[in-house]
Structure 1
């Protein structure tokens, strides 16, 4: 591109990219969700099996995204794949649902979680929660205005800190088990659990493994993307799986299966057993670091989707600009950050996230489905990386995602219906936007 319309620079190496994968997946979920899984399982072994199965299913999707990223190493990720395979309307519906609602809603929710733990760790009053959350979003946007390298440095630091927090949990669990992990797993009598409940327990596991797609949103800034993207996605997700299984093993070692099921804050309860109140404060700081790092990735990735939409004429043209010096989508960053702050102050992000959950998983399913289009229509352009066991791995992931959507719709039809309504409202918004665009051009 010309200097008046510059492109992104490829500044992210394998280490940076892998940290983005790990940081995009590990947020606050692993510190709280295991208690929910324990409630729905009968034994510790069942719990560990679900976390392993959920990780393997997610890895199947990650490998598919690795091929998509290698085929189209551009900013925008799923938006780009949908636009090329299925047209502008499905791509717009993705951007409408994700970049304008889900991404900023996620940032607002996780920034508030960060502020909750940060204030609790420092003994600050709850009246500071919203100001701290707004300050965190503003700081992250400000750092990313300087370009992807500045954001990557922040990401690397906070990803290492969140991995340190998980390592501390695992160490505490090993200490509390006194070297008898086998006895720990057999210590609680099994509870009868119907098969349907086990499938229901898999849903929050899969949600906790979500977030791996953010690296594809930033693919336009990855060096040697055909090689780096598959490596970083695969290594990053394997690292997440190991962390999640070890963390759950630590919870079982320190709390037991029944104790974990009864806990409202398993990470804090585990730390308190060894270190008392100071342990709970320490892990609160660890969770704060974990959530802060997630916000950084969601803002950076979401802004690239918005910028790509703007450059396509699917959003305001100013949002599509890339600043020549920093090579950052500064207007898109500011727009996403401002909207996330509005949601934070209004407190409406919780409902927005509930209403877009089905849309998020539909985006994953249709994103992976574009792989079949690429394989069929671009047979003469083989990808430098190809997903193994094709077409079975993509079919497995898409089938699992559709199962998650069906289960979510059955268990919570109101939220699922609202999610579909939000997606449907994107159709008149798309045609209205195109009409305004033609009026402005004519």
Structure 2
């Protein structure tokens, strides 16, 4: 729904240089990383029918679309860098916003960058036949390169992202074609697979978890909203276009896996994309898909670095982290200090090998932030009901409510499945409370002219 008189669009220190195709590429690239090349095997192992498997992926896409539509309204209302941090700060106050930044910008974003950069390096070594001792240097080099590109501004980062989004869509198209070719009897026969167990209703709920995780990452565009041209029109369209493309790709890729490997074969596979390619092209197929997955993960890292740095910059400009990190270079209009800090922290996590534990520990926190972010839609509708909104989520309040309820169920299921990780996630969030008050105390002393101890 488009209002005739949109509210003024704040500019801030950033320059609006991203068009609709750049923005849609950010959505696609932020969601499609390495998950779709591995996750379908886990989902297939928890289902006992082809129809059930496809329905789960379609349902996951619809549920995620509910979140995307809600984020579209939030982005149109507040088209500023920082995304969820901005919405939480305005709706619920600085403490919830800080806890989001504490968990995401300082832990989850760098942890995911480190993990995906390592996955990129793993596939590069596999494709080129390099020893595993090259993994860490390649991962560090990838992060350093992407940070340097983004230091030149959002336009340079967008060029890299657009190229790798096209490449990852090409890889997915290749998988779909290979699956169809195999479905018509070409290539080597699939190896025998064990029979699938009967699926219980609880197993189906569990199977939805990895599906939803594979659809995660759509929030990165809102982190970069301060650099989108005509954001009140472009943001909703790019979010819808990008997420629609992702859902279509995911369903078609799963159909290709089923056509080429069979349901039981997919469930038994450790690397379904590689197994699918190997059936038609032999060992060369595995090399080709390794290159493709490396391109996909490289593109994701570029988006995560750009988006995470904007959240860290806005949080620091708010006085919630070192003020120097909140600076934006007036020549490149890039948060150069925040980019460097985020990249350096991700490199430290790679060298220490601690990123896997961090990601496990912050999964619940990440999904809590999604639920809290969407919940601000209700606050805006109630408290600022007279504020003109150029886009309103259709089906309100049921669409955002469906997403929030789904996310709460995901959190509960995750807590039941891995209580230790869920407990650590909540502990990390709770530790942010004393840090917040300590930081506020430090800032108040600085404002009063008292040097920090």
TM-score relative to the length of structure 1: 0.96
1:211 is aligned to 217
Supply the distance in 2 between the matched residues of 1:339 and 1:372 (Cα, whole angstroms): 35
The answer to whether residue 111 in structure 2 is matched with residue 105 in structure 1 is yes
- Secondary structure of the residue that 1:233 maps to in structure 2? helix
1:429 is aligned to 435
- By how many angstroms is 1:441 displaced? 2.1
Deviation by residue 1:77-106 (Cα, 9 ceiling, x = unmatched) = 000000000000000000000000000000
Please list, as runs of the form range in 1=range in 2, the aligned pairs for 1:73-152 lying within 5 A after superposition: 73-152=79-158
Supply the distance in 2 between the matched residues of 1:178 and 1:35 (Cα, whole angstroms): 22
2:183 is aligned to 177
Match of residue 24, structure 1, among 26, 30, 36: 30
Answer yes or no: is the 8 Å Cα contact 2:45–2:196 preserved in 1.
no
Match of residue 346, structure 2, among 340, 347, 356: 340
2:328 is aligned to 322
1:247 is aligned to 253
Deviation by residue 1:140-159 (Cα, 9 ceiling, x = unmatched) = 00000000000000000001
1:286 is aligned to 292
- By how many angstroms is 1:6 displaced? 6.9
Answer yes or no: is the 8 Å Cα contact 2:20–2:237 preserved in 1.
yes
- Secondary structure of the residue that 2:109 maps to in structure 1? helix
Answer yes or no: is the 8 Å Cα contact 1:43–1:191 preserved in 2.
no
Match of residue 75, structure 2, among 51, 69, 77: 69
- By how many angstroms is 1:382 displaced? 2.8
2:7 is aligned to none
Match of residue 370, structure 1, among 369, 376, 380: 376
Answer yes or no: is the 8 Å Cα contact 1:188–1:257 preserved in 2.
no
2:411 is aligned to 405
Supply the distance in 2 between the matched residues of 1:144 and 1:6 (Cα, whole angstroms): 18
Unaligned runs of at least 5 residues, structure 1: none
TM-score relative to the length of structure 2: 0.94
The answer to whether residue 308 in structure 2 is matched with residue 302 in structure 1 is yes
When structure 1 is superposed on structure 2, of 39-48 and 22-31 the one drifting more is 39-48
- By how many angstroms is 1:438 displaced? 1.4
Supply the distance in 1 between the matched residues of 2:388 and 2:230 (Cα, whole angstroms): 17
Q: 1:190 to 1:354 in 2, by over 3 A?
A: closer
Q: 1:175 to 1:225 in 2, by over 3 A?
A: same
Unaligned runs of at least 5 residues, structure 2: 1-10, 449-453
**RMSD, aligned α-carbons:** 1.5
Supply the distance in 1 between the matched residues of 2:197 and 2:148 (Cα, whole angstroms): 51
- By how many angstroms is 1:421 displaced? 0.2
Answer yes or no: is the 8 Å Cα contact 1:188–1:256 preserved in 2.
no
- Secondary structure of the residue that 2:329 maps to in structure 1? coil
